[in-house]
Amino acid sequence: MIELKDVTKSFGELHVLRGVSLTLPMRQTTAIIGPSGAGKSVLLKLLVGLIRADAGEVRCFGTDMGRADDDELYAVRRRFGMLFQDGALFDNLTVAENIEFPLIHHRRDLKPKERRERVLAALEQVGLPELADRPTGRLSGGQRKRVGLARAIITEPEVVLFDEPNSGLDPVTSDAIDSLILTMKAKLGVTFIIISHDIVGTLNVADNIGMLYEGRLIQFGPTEEIVQAPNPILRRFLQRNVSLPDAAHEAYALPAARQRAM
Ligand SMILES: Nc1ncnc2c1ncn2[C@@H]1O[C@H](COP(=O)(O)OP(=O)(O)OP(=O)(O)O)[C@@H](O)[C@H]1O
Ligand SMILES: [Mg+2]
């Protein structure tokens, strides 16, 4: 169970979150969307206890993240896989070493050979089996994103947090990552929390969508309802990414891939 209760967070005079309450449905994919600077990445960092809320409560699996000590934070983070917006990869390590990193820390029971097997399987899943021993510093932006994803899922986490999974990716790679998310959710019951400024890019995978705007969650609900909500800010977000004939009045159709998945 992951929930936020009336969470506020400011940096000096900048009031980023002004009272956000949210319960994230488990074993589903939830996208949090909002304009640049809305506080999406801040929200993600609050969830894993990298920063603490000024007021309100962030609760993950029963742990109050604002009051947890290092051991408690560690116990919660073990259950999360994280893909940060910038990938946060170590450029001086190889691809395989980057992906192996969380395993070395969180799965001390595994032997090097077992770790290597898992790393190669994760690379296969993200479609980059041939890159294992390549220096990470030489990868393209899309390759970095996929390596970050492989690293996020290597420990088989219950919850995967994903900051901007599709930005900077070509449509084929984006589709491959969408399928991976759908498969992991269906087969392993993984909970995905996806942060994006592009609502349309999340429609293939999101069961729920929340819209963060001016420090508040102005909409939250099942994707099917959100795409039809009359909220003008939400409508502008939907229209900006696609050209629809009369989007303000017509229900937005879910993409074919998503319809097949349902
Ligand atoms: N550690 C920090 N210190 C000061 N200000 C910060 C800090 N972290 C975030 N901010 C500010 O908080 C606001 C929200 O930042 P955040 O990174 O959450 O935006 P975002 O919604 O993720 O935007 P984007 O879509 O561009 O990634 C921004 O104005 C940012 O400059
Ligand atoms: Mg961000």
Q: What is the pLDDT of residues 48-85, one digit of tens each?
A: 999 999 999 999 999 999 999 999 998 998 899 988 87
- Kind and range of the H or E run holding 151: helix 141-153
Half-sphere exposure for 223 (CA within 13 Å, toward CB): 23
Q: What is the pLDDT of residues 110-130, one digit of tens each?
A: 999 999 999 999 999 888 999
Tokens representing 229 are: 């909500």
Instruction: Please give the Cα distance from 98 to 107 (Å, whole number).
Output: 15
Instruction: Answer whether 37 contacts ligand 1 (Cβ < 6 A).
Output: yes
* Closest ligand 1 atom, residue 38 Cα: 21
Mutate to test the pocket of ligand 1, among 11, 162, 202 (most ligand atoms within 8 A of CB): 11
**Non-local CB neighbours of 113 within 8 Å, separated by 6+ positions:** none
- Give the number of the ligand closest to the Cα of residue 50: 1
Domain map (residue ranges) of the chain: 1-79+193-262
Mean pLDDT of the chain, nearest integer: 87
Ligand 2 centroid – CA 228 distance (Å)? 25
pTM for the model stands at 0.85
Instruction: Answer whether 45 contacts ligand 1 (Cβ < 6 A).
Output: no
Ligand 1 centroid – CA 14 distance (Å)? 10
> What pLDDT score was predicted for residue 173?
81
Mutate to test the pocket of ligand 1, among 7, 10, 18, 41 (most ligand atoms within 8 A of CB): 41
Assign 3-class secondary structure to 93-109.
CEHHHHHHHHHHHHCCC
Instruction: Please give the Cα distance from 164 to 151 (Å, whole number).
Output: 15
- Give the number of the ligand closest to the Cα of residue 36: 1
- Kind and range of the H or E run holding 145: helix 141-153
For residue 158, with 0-12 CB atoms within 10 Å meaning exposed, 13-18 middle and 19 or more buried, which class applies? middle
> What pLDDT score was predicted for residue 106?
85
Residues of the chain with pLDDT under 70: 87, 240-262
Instruction: Answer whether 42 contacts ligand 1 (Cβ < 6 A).
Output: yes
Q: Whose CA is nearest to atom 28 of ligand 1?
A: 37
> What pLDDT score was predicted for residue 84?
80
**Non-local CB neighbours of 208 within 8 Å, separated by 6+ positions:** 25, 28, 29, 30, 31, 220, 221, 222, 223, 226
Contact yes or no for 207/261 (Cβ under 8 A): no
Closest CA to 85 of 128, 131, 32, 134: 32
**Non-local CB neighbours of 183 within 8 Å, separated by 6+ positions:** none
> What pLDDT score was predicted for residue 258?
54
Closest CA to 139 of 152, 126, 157, 121: 126
Instruction: Answer whether 99 contacts ligand 1 (Cβ < 6 A).
Output: no
Instruction: Answer whether 226 contacts ligand 1 (Cβ < 6 A).
Output: no
> What pLDDT score was predicted for residue 245?
45
Fold of 1-79+193-262: Rossmann fold (3.40.50)
